[in-house]
Amino acid sequence: MRGFGELEQAIMDVVWSTGEPVTVREVLECLNRERPQPLAYNTVHTVTEVLHRKGWLSRAKDGRAFRYEATKSREEYAASLIDQVWASGADRTATLVKLFDAMGTDEVAELRAALAARTEEDRACGLRFCSSDTPWRSAESVRCGLAGPCGLPGRRGWESGRGRR
């Protein structure tokens, strides 16, 4: 997936910022407030329909018009762009180090807190490690859903990481 074009990004920014379903007319009004040369209704409508066909917007009839709502969050979009970087074959560690170097101290602290919380969630539901922080010892215990080394029962299916270890 490529990133959004300039107008696609502007439309998605309006949709994400409102947090509720919007009509093309409402999007157009928001966009034209910030532009020196106003956009035409048909232009915004066409690009909104393209975003709908691409799966980024859902729509529901409201009288004679449609109301559009984002199907994915801004964070999901940003993550999909990062996935493209990983798919390019770039060195993940080097890329992350460059990204962290550009972050402020507060942002790095927020990231560390989010990663720590994620690790706690993973431990609590048996995704990667048992509660003792000891990795699962055998692929067989993952495939059959047997207990991990700490004695906690494993979970069956993708949530438990079957095929991911």
74-87 vs 6-18: helix crossing angle, rounded to 10: 140
Domain boundaries, the chain: 6-70
For residues 46 and 39, give the distance between their C-alpha atoms in angstroms, rounded to a whole number: 12
44: nearest Cα among 1, 3, 6: 6
Fold of 6-70: Arc Repressor Mutant, subunit A (1.10.10)
- pLDDT tens across 77-133, in order? 998 888 888 888 778 888 888 888 899 999 989 988 988 888 777 767 655 444 334
pLDDT in tens, 144-163: 333 334 433 443 333 333 33
